[in-house]
Amino acid sequence: MYEKFYDFGLSDEVLSSISSMGFEEPTQIQKIAIPPVMKGKDIIGVAQTGTGKTAAFGIPIIEKGVRGKSKRPCALVLVPTRELAIQVAQEMNKIGGNKGVVSVPIYGGQSIERQIKSLKKGIDVVVGTPGRVIDHIRRKTLVLSDVSTVVLDEADEMLNMGFIEDMQTILKETPEGRQTLLFSATMPEQIVRISQKYMVSPIRVQVDAKELVVAKLKQVFYEVRETDKVKALTRILDVQDPALTLIFCHTKRDVDELSGKLQQMGYAAGAIHGDFTQSFRDEVMRKFKGGEIDILVATDVAARGLDINDVTHVINYSIPQNPDAYIHRVGRTGRAGKSGIAITFVTPREYSHLRLIERTARTKIEKGLLPSSAKVREAREKELAEDIEAVIGEGKHKVFHSLVRGLLKKHAPEEVAAAALSMVAGDLEVEHIEELSGPRHSAGVEMRRLFLTIGRKDKIKVGDMVRAISEKSKIPGANIGKIAIFDDYSFVEIPEALAEQIIGSINNIIIGGKKVKVQNAQARKRS
């Protein structure tokens, strides 16, 4: 029934705004959410980033119109991060431009005096982070008595960031008869309790998980060792030459290290995470959207709210920690009906985690083969040739004509040109990467179980153990099987064929600064 925006009975002003924004037809969440919201119903929308949920609640809010003579806002949208506050307010202003509906973002890190001035002038919609909204409420610079609609956007993320009490405090400041719209990717128990306490007979609308992984989205994983990830990444960047690439890492330190390495190698890369100032993050985002940098390395939290339709590649440099995170990440490409590529790097020990993501997200992630050395070299030579063509086109090379003529008297033309290129580009060598094909300790390999005198109390991690054993015994980490760490001791599985060699080399090994004894484990008792 609702196949076009005009099917919702929207005003000409809003339809004109939607058209100028390039929206041709509503997304799935918009089709099922806008009608009940327009009727004043409370709704719970289960939908991830990238499904069009901002317009799903924004269009009905704009249709309700401006605040009238009051300077107090008629709608409040709570979001978890600064970036999302800015993005949502921008989209709301685009939708409401023809109706004169004004939306303002308020968040920490921006001058509170500037926000107070905006609030005093009178605005229709406040889009804010919980902490800053409460700050304004306490200062009495934000009064919510006229609010008729409250939106809790990405409620599960606000829960994860510790805003649950702030959300409840803010809701208590709004009128009881308000309309409440809750959007969340998942529905943890605390979010369910909020819906039960603060919403009136909410209608649940949900986009099926299969809809979230866009049909046009190509999903692929590459199995590589941790130490080969940078080499694998540069091969993909060189051969596929993405327009805009978003790369995800687990930690701020990983983001800094990877973006720094890419910059040193000549890639136009930027970084964004929570330790950067808001002004710096805004500047990086401006450059990314404008194409001044074409690679953005980010943490999950910092990337919340990034809404860029032209991202062609999302690369999970670190595998997502859970299926929801995977869906959130890959949803940032393939937007607005465009095609996109989602790439995930997987180490041998993460193989089972990848399969868990596949099962939970109900999707298929195909295994890919990294571009060959020949393909990479071909791509690098093509780029170099294009750079040379550009220099010739600009004519700046002509100052060297006399020097070249002198060299040509002594050497063949191809020798002179090749020598000049080698000075600029080096030898275009492509570093070797060992191709992996699934866990080497899987079915068909007989394993032996070892007992180690180190455990959880020694603050040891699986990665530390694998690294120490691999380095000492000179066997690949992929050959090490299951590891079980208890308080005072641990068990490690190794290939039976290599058992004596490994035991001999690692007995009295130092792991985490402690000398560890290694022996064959006793056979497990069977019930």
Does residue 439 fall inside a structural domain? no
Burial 89-103 (b: 16+ CB within 10 A, else e): bebbbbbbbbbebbb
Beta-bridged to residue 272, according to DSSP, are: 298
For residues 400 and 294, membership in a common domain is answered with no
For residues 146 and 190, membership in a common domain is answered with yes
Number of domains in the chain: 4
For residues 351 and 316, membership in a common domain is answered with yes
How far is CA 156 from each of CA 94, 162, 332, rounded to the nearest angstrom? Answer: 26, 10, 18
User: Which of 358, 393, 425 represents a domain boundary (last residue)?
Assistant: 425
Q: Which two tokens stand for residue 157?
A: 């993320």
Q: Is the pLDDT assigned to residue 21 strictly greater than 50?
A: yes
What are the backbone angles phi and psi of residue 463, rounded to the nearest 5°? -60, -40
**What pLDDT is recorded for position 495?**
80
User: Which of 330, 345, 367 represents a domain boundary (last residue)?
Assistant: 367
Predicted confidence band at 439 (pLDDT cuts at 50, 70, 90)? very low
User: Which of 180, 207, 234 represents a domain boundary (last residue)?
Assistant: 207
For residues 203 and 216, membership in a common domain is answered with no
Predicted confidence band at 324 (pLDDT cuts at 50, 70, 90)? low
For residues 294 and 159, membership in a common domain is answered with no
Per-residue pLDDT of 492-511, as tens digits, reads: 888 877 788 788 888 888 88
* Domain containing residue 286: CATH number: 3.40.50.300
User: How many Å apart are CA 294 and CA 310, to the nearest integer?
Assistant: 11
Mean pLDDT of 197-215: 74
Does residue 525 fall inside a structural domain? no
Which range in 63-67, 163-167, 479-483 is most confidently predicted, on average pLDDT?
Answer: 163-167
For residues 179 and 277, membership in a common domain is answered with no
Per-residue pLDDT of 326-342, as tens digits, reads: 877 887 776 655 668 99
For residues 290 and 341, membership in a common domain is answered with yes
User: How many Å apart are CA 256 and CA 67, to the nearest integer?
Assistant: 45
For residues 188 and 318, membership in a common domain is answered with no
For residues 362 and 391, membership in a common domain is answered with no
**What pLDDT is recorded for position 292?**
92
**What pLDDT is recorded for position 300?**
78
Q: Helices 413-425 and 373-394 meet at what angle, rounded to 10?
A: 100
Does residue 430 fall inside a structural domain? no
Does residue 436 fall inside a structural domain? no
Bigger pLDDT: 159 vs 306: 159
Sorted by sequence, the CB contacts under 8 Å of residue 489 that are 6+ apart come out as 451, 452, 453, 454, 455
**What pLDDT is recorded for position 443?**
42
**What pLDDT is recorded for position 435?**
58
Does residue 356 fall inside a structural domain? yes
* Domain containing residue 513: CATH number: 3.30.70.330
Q: Is the pTM of this model over 0.95?
A: no
Print the domain residue range for 394: 378-425
User: How many Å apart are CA 389 and CA 394, to the nearest integer?
Assistant: 9
Q: By the 8 A CB rule, do 262 and 378 touch?
A: no
Q: Is the pLDDT assigned to residue 211 strictly greater than 60?
A: no
Bigger pLDDT: 372 vs 316: 316
Per-residue pLDDT of 257-280, as tens digits, reads: 999 999 988 899 999 987 888 788
CB atoms within 10 A of CB 485: 17
For residues 201 and 174, membership in a common domain is answered with yes
**What pLDDT is recorded for position 337?**
54
For residues 234 and 363, membership in a common domain is answered with yes
Sorted by sequence, the CB contacts under 8 Å of residue 29 that are 6+ apart come out as 45, 47, 51, 52, 53, 56, 205, 207
Bigger pLDDT: 94 vs 309: 94
What is the pLDDT of the chain when averaged over all its residues? 84
Which of 158, 161, 128, 152 lies closest to 142 in space, CA to CA? 128
The sheet with strand 203-206 has its strands ordered as 103-106, 125-128, 75-78, 149-152, 179-184, 43-46, 203-206
**What pLDDT is recorded for position 294?**
93
Does residue 372 fall inside a structural domain? no
How far is CA 242 from each of CA 312, 315, 340, 431, rounded to the nearest angstrom? Answer: 6, 11, 10, 21
Q: Is the pLDDT assigned to residue 426 strictly greater than 90?
A: no
> pLDDT > 90: what percent of the chain?
33
User: How many Å apart are CA 245 and CA 249, to the nearest integer?
Assistant: 13
* Tokens 């100052």, located at residue: 399
Sign of CA dihedral 379, 380, 381, 383: positive
Does residue 437 fall inside a structural domain? no
For residues 247 and 337, membership in a common domain is answered with yes
How far is CA 455 from each of CA 349, 363, 499, rounded to the nearest angstrom? Answer: 20, 37, 21
> pLDDT > 70: what percent of the chain?
88
Sign of CA dihedral 152, 153, 159, 162: negative
Does residue 442 fall inside a structural domain? no
**What pLDDT is recorded for position 261?**
93
By the 10 Å C-beta count (0-12 exposed, 13-18 middle, 19+ buried), 466 is classed as buried
